[in-house]
Amino acid sequence: MVIEPGGANAEIARFLKRLQWGLVLAVVVWLLIALGPILTPFVIALLLAWLGDPLVDRVERSGRSRVLGVGLVFTLIILLGTLALLILVPMIERQVRTLLDSLPGIREWIVGSAVPWIEARTGFSLSEWADPQRLFDWAREHWQQAGGAATAFFGYLQRSGFVFITWIVNLVLVPVLTFYFLRDWDALVERVASLIPRDHIDTVTRLARESDERLGGFVRGQFLVMLAQGVFYAVGLQAVGLRLGILVGLIAGLISFVPYLGAAVGAVLMLLAALVQAQGIDWQLLLLGTAVFTAGQLLESYVLTPRLVGDRIGLHPVAVIFAVMAGGQLFGFLGMLIALPVAAVANVLLRFAHERYTASRLYAGSPSGVLVGEPGPIVASGDGEETPGA
């Protein structure tokens, strides 16, 4: 059967092709949802290999073998990860111990000072709910519901034993998979490129290169910004006398990939930690803590982000937040990992679509300014009859 370019058969073939690609996309989404826990170490290792491949290529360009470059970069990744664990784990452990030791004092301050202050200014009765005996009596009155919730909770813990074992296995798999991805990265790229139709290879190569440049620059630069801000906040808050300054600073730095969010959350945590530590309002500690976050935000806005990140990914902060939350909602932890790469690629594709649209006749309109299907002007023929123009 011969398919005419403008016939009904061509329309049917085009519809079937789109339906085929839609089914492929649906299968991919279903596999991501079903295999999320298994795919997580592969995605983490793939991201690490993608970040380390430029360093391996640089070693290769210096005249050394790829195996040596992979070994050097892989060793560097392992050393940095181990160093981070050796530094961060003891610090966080001490901060958590400080927090636990402060819990009795926190309770006394909440019951003796904070709750009466709130009650005096709002009129709400909170004392009975802050009393542990009141909470115990309430739980005893609702013991059936509490028992059902406890049963469900412990059942979840029992089922999550397998999840815990899976996480341990994944933790071991990540460095192994990273090594193999680093070693075979160029071969993987060539294999994927060989599957692309030849008449689209130039366009796909251009889009892939643009996505790689944008996302690679953003991830590498943003990681340095997060690290610098975390260290700045932790050192600054600890220096001004906040006992939980390291923990608050690390949390603020960790979520500073969204502009202003890290500083805002960190400032709130600093305020709460300062109130609990001073058992009231210590204006000097609050002012110094606010100065630390103000200086950190100025450092990020005018020095770190312009120099290290710039406009590499081209996404608005609201779009970054939405991408991460949507990825987590749809695919869990795996979705959060792939949220920004997918958003960066989608942004590049949207820019390409906009470029094609602005170059199309639909955007520019017909040269004569006459809409398609609109009758032309009336032209008088030689025999006196008026006929529509072309």
Q: Which two tokens stand for residue 262?
A: 């890290």
Cα angle: 258, vertex 216, 267; to 5 degrees: 20
For residue 196, the one-letter residue type is: I
- Asked whether 250 and 238 are in contact (CB, 8 A), the reply is no
Cα end-to-end span (Å), the chain: 35
d(CA 346, CA 320): 12
- Could you tell me the pTM of the whole model? 0.60
The reported pLDDT for the residue numbered 5 is 52
pLDDT in tens, 94-149: 877 877 777 777 777 777 777 677 777 776 666 555 555 555 565 556 555 544 54
The reported pLDDT for the residue numbered 155 is 52
d(CA 117, CA 280): 11
Query: Taking the domains of the chain in order of start, what are their residue ranges?
Result: 1-34, 46-195
157 pLDDT band (50/70/90 cuts)?
very low
d(CA 60, CA 212): 20
d(CA 199, CA 13): 19
Give residues with Cβ within 8 angstroms of 3, minimum separation 6. Answer: 9, 10, 13
- Asked whether 113 and 276 are in contact (CB, 8 A), the reply is no
d(CA 239, CA 299): 18
The H-or-E segment that residue 388 falls in is strand 386-388
Helices 143-183 & 132-141, crossing angle to 10 degrees? 100
- Asked whether 234 and 226 are in contact (CB, 8 A), the reply is no
- How much of the chain, in percent, has pLDDT values that exceed 70? 75
